[in-house]
Amino acid sequence: MLGHDLIDALKPYDLSGVGLGEGSGLGIPYETADLSEQALVDQCWDRIRPELVFHLAAFTNVDLCETERDLASLANTKAVECVARASKRHQAPVVFFSTDFIFDGFQEREYVESDTPNPLSYYGATKRDAEAALKACGGPYVTFRICWLYGARGRSFPASILAQAEKGAPLKVVADQVGRPTYTRDVCNALSRLLSADEKIFHRVAGETFHLANDGTASWADFADETLRLAGYSVKVERITAAQLNRPAKRPAHAVLSLVKTQKILGLRLRPWQAALADFIRERQNSK
């Protein structure tokens, strides 16, 4: 989901992709490799000789991570270690994407970058461990914690709400978890702006962690209601609790990421989530 939009946003650069899939339709040179295999990663890196690495690959099905723990650890932690080691040999900074799910969400105030992680889910634990592994490797890296991501490609929350509304299915959505809905395109455009202003930006801020998300907060039910309203539906969702939904992985109730450091150090403040969602819905309707 994020990778497709990043390729679009970074078009002016000489890009290469590496991942599990075939990479067809990406429009860039692509090598198929499991990133949790160090030897394969080393070979790819030696061929590509990257100057900068965006590490997007992950096992992102949070519920499945609870039962598929070995796979989750390989994809979310081991792969980061492999990429970090190979990138260090090339002195290429790794731009890594972590998550609000490393926090427990028990505190009322927003989470700052230096708050201590305490993940409730196995997915969150693998991403916390990945952050630590990246730091321990000793090469240049920057971690962006992002959250509640949706985009044109892949599974996304607003797309599944609209699919259910189109079928006339009843909509029950969790109202007691709050976060910052974030559009992939806004994240990618922000990263592109950073690079075009200063190609060495990720060397300059190496070792830092930043929170990057659209402004404002919402519950999943608020997010769903706004999606339906923007798409022209007059229905509202039935608001339920996370306990009623009872999913395999626990999610934080209030893991709202503070955006202050990112604005102060990088000069980035993304627009309110409602404005981004309106663009997403408009583009989705135009592409039909």
The contact set with ligand NAP (CB under 6 A) reads: 1-3, 19-21, 34-36, 56-60, 75, 79, 97, 99, 146-149, 154
Closest separation in Å from C-beta 60 to ligand NAP: 4
Closest separation in Å from C-beta 234 to ligand NAP: 28
Residue closer to ligand NAP by CB (options 148, 223) is: 148
> Helix axis angle, 273-286 relative to 157-167, nearest 10°?
60
Q: Which positions ≥6 away from 130 have C-beta within 8 Å?
A: 76, 77, 80, 81, 96, 98
- Report the C-alpha gap between 23 and 15 in whole angstroms: 13
Residue closer to ligand NAP by CB (options 74, 195) is: 74
Closest separation in Å from C-beta 210 to ligand NAP: 13
Residue closer to ligand NAP by CB (options 68, 233) is: 68
Closest separation in Å from C-beta 230 to ligand NAP: 19
One-letter amino acid at 173 equals: V
Instruction: Pick the closest to residue 18 from 7, 29, 9 (CA basis).
Output: 29
- Report the C-alpha gap between 116 and 285 in whole angstroms: 41
Per the CB < 8 A criterion, the answer to whether 202 and 52 are in contact is: yes
- Report the C-alpha gap between 195 and 202 in whole angstroms: 8
Give all strands (DSSP E) within 57-118, no chain letters: 94-99
- 17-19 and 30-32 strand pairing: parallel
Closest separation in Å from C-beta 217 to ligand NAP: 15
Closest separation in Å from C-beta 6 to ligand NAP: 9
Residue closer to ligand NAP by CB (options 189, 233) is: 189
Residue closer to ligand NAP by CB (options 45, 59) is: 59
**Which helix (H) or strand (E) covers residue 124, if one does?**
helix 122-137
Residue closer to ligand NAP by CB (options 75, 94) is: 75
DSSP notation for 216-273: S-EEHHHHHHHHHHHTT----PEEE-HHHH--SS---SB-PBP-HHIIIII---PPBH
Residue closer to ligand NAP by CB (options 139, 151) is: 151
Closest separation in Å from C-beta 18 to ligand NAP: 7
Residue closer to ligand NAP by CB (options 97, 280) is: 97
> In the block, which residue shows the tokens 């070995």?
70
**Which helix (H) or strand (E) covers residue 179, if one does?**
strand 178-179
Closest separation in Å from C-beta 59 to ligand NAP: 5
Determine phi and psi for 112, rounding to 5 degrees: -95, 165
